[in-house]
Structure 1
Amino acid sequence: MAEITRRRTGELLRALFKLLTLSPEGLPARLALQQLEQQVVLSEYEQGEYDSGGRRFDKIVRFATVDCVKAGWLVKNKGTWLITEEGKTAYETIKDPEAFSKQAVKLYQQWRATQPDAEPSTPEESDDTSSGKAASITLEEAEEQAWDEISQYLHQMNPYDFQSLVADLLRAMGYHVEWVAPPGKDGGMDILAWPDPLGTKPPRIKVQVKRQVQPVNVDGVRSFLAVLGDDDVGLFVALGGFTKDAVDAARNQERRRLTLIDIRRLYDLWVDHYRNLSDEARRRMPLRPVYFLSPEG
């Protein structure tokens, strides 16, 4: 990519890493690209599009981040980009943009050399000629689109259907759901379950479900903790996730046992136990796996 120098790539990467250091929970890829565009001045070339489709700026940044992922500086999970501790250290210590980019490429090449199908490469290998990186970006964008659709689907689900979805998941995991709250006030508990059919074996499992977009704060967690007895286990399922204070409050409990489940963990559990779901349960959130050839391993 003659129009994009290694220094320019480093400038874009460092600007991206600056944004990510300010977002400890990470940023959705599309939002990260939008914010990055507001922080840098795009050249005419970067503003243009490839003949095959897609804006050059987006592709340039995405290609560069492949190096960062394999370098251990960046994690991509369900469309969210999160800087690692190694990435923070690299950002703080390698100030020169060109050196920053070259180090990411060097670490990528070290990783690539360990792969079974590794081919000889040079430090100045053009990113846009790397079939492995191109396949990685295609897979990445497909995963982002799939996750966006799944997230939107869950957030738009009727609250009581979502509550039933969580109850279905517990059944698929082998728990016995005794009660699911009907519409109306629930007293701080939406689902009650046991490890055995008769409810004779501890612990009793109390579940609260929140479909709200905003993260549950520490007061919300404390309110749920108040309904848990000494022999209870609490599950708090919240699509919007939890604030740091809320997570700390749950983690630091000495007597009450509480597990927090955000949208990503809920999805992973649904996938892990999908084969055990009833046909009716699967219809609440039907999924179909699609397989890609992934040269990046």
Structure 2
Amino acid sequence: MADVTKARTGLLIRKLFEILQGQRDGMRAADALAALEKSVQLTAYEAGDYESGGRRFERIVRFATVSCVKAGWLVKHKGVWTVSDEGAAAFAQITDPEKFYRQAERLYWTWRKAQPAAAEDTPAEEAAETSAVITLEEAEEVAWKEIEQFLAGMPPYEFQELVGELLRAMGYHVAWIAPTGKDGGVDVIAYNDPLGTRPPRIKVQVKRNAHSPRIDVVGLRSFMAVLGEGDVGLFVAMSGFTRDAELEARQSHRRVTLLDTTKLVELWIEHYSKLEDAARRRLPLKPVWFLAAED
């Protein structure tokens, strides 16, 4: 990183924060990096590649974001980067790019020194750890993108079956899954017991198209209209939900749980051992273990 100054890194990171703050729900890392590249003029060094492979520009930015994450300014989850409230406040308060980045580094080192045995780490060990963190992030981003693409390509009815299999693994009894055609706003019905004698009844709506707009309040209310007094609603949408829809679900007197792709897959992983073999084949996953840095 000797060819990249603190001032230059600060400019890149501050521009990245500017881009991310325009996206309330965050951005995929690849999309954020692409938008950043379009908004700045890369130097010859940044535009080049490392001998070991990989573009310098992306690695420089990723390396700098590690400090921002530890400073509490940036949140990374399943390949999505989001500016935190603390990050937005720092962005507004520290307008000089270099000072902005140096403050993130100071907060990172405050965190670092508080970790067990941190004083024993050499600069080479610290650099290796940061490199491992970035490698893990990139691997997770690629894996998550593949999972999303796999689900997005799944036929709608099979996706409904996948949701039904997940409910069975969670201990619910699936009584009905909608056949092809009109479903009246309900795709799956499940109960707490095989006969459906113990409330509540669970009504599920499933929206597989990941490229559709996020489900808004109107779409959520349309689903809630089919819920009876004793029903619990489960809305599964790969496209996700707007913040207004999430707020509506929390405040409504109707009991509704919202599942986007991330939450759906997390539940699939959590209950994977309880899935039938046929169910696992719908979305086969395998864990890969990495040596993790301290949180």
Distance 2:270 2:99 in 1: 42
- Per the alignment, residue 248 of structure 2 pairs with 249
> d(CA) in 2 for partners of 1:89 and 1:278?
48
- Paired amino acid for 1:280: A
Task: Tell me, yes or no, if structure 1 residue 230 matches structure 2 residue 229.
Answer: yes
Contact 1:132 1:296 in 2 (8 A): no
**8 A contact 1:136–1:296 mirrored in 2:** no
Structure 1 runs not aligned, ≥5 long: none
Residue aligning to 1:295: 293
Q: Deviations over 1:89-146 (max 9, x none)?
A: 1111111111111111111112222222414679xx79x9711110000100000000
- Counterpart secondary structure, 1:258: strand
One-letter amino acid of the structure 2 residue matched with residue 74 of structure 1: L
* 1:46-195 equivalent positions in 2, closer than 5 A: 46-119=46-119, 130-195=127-192
Give the total of aligned pairs. 293
Q: TM-score, normalization: structure 1?
A: 0.95
Shift, 1:208, TM fit = 0.5
1:211 and 2:189 are equivalent in the alignment: no
Deviations 1:146-172, CA, capped at 9 Å, x for gaps: 000000000110101100000000001
Q: Deviations over 1:63-106 (max 9, x none)?
A: 00001111111111111001101111111111111111111111
Give unpaired runs (5+ residues) of structure 2. Answer: none
Tell me the CA shift for residue 21 of structure 1: 0.9
- Any idea what SS the aligned residue of 2:234 has? strand
Partner AA of 1:139 in structure 2:
L
Structure 1 counterpart SS, 2:175: strand
Secondary structure class of the residue paired with 1:290: coil
Aligned to 2:273: 275
Distance apart, 1:58 and its partner CA: 0.4
TM-superposed deviation, 1:245? 3.0
Does the Cα contact within 8 Å between 1:133 and 1:296 map onto a contact in 2?
Answer: no
Partner deviation per Cα, 1:17-74 (whole Å, 9 max, x = no partner)? 0111111100000000000011111111111111111111100000000011111111
SS at match of 1:187: coil
Aligned-pair identity in percent equals 57
Kindly state the Cα deviation for residue 187 of structure 1 after the two structures are TM-superposed.
1.1
Distance in structure 1 (CA, Å) of the matches to 2:181 and 2:79: 35
AA aligned to 1:88 is A
Counterparts of 1:294 and 1:12 in 2: how far apart (Å)? 27
Please give the alpha-carbon distance, in whole angstroms, between the structure 1 residues aligned to 2:106 and 2:7. Answer: 15
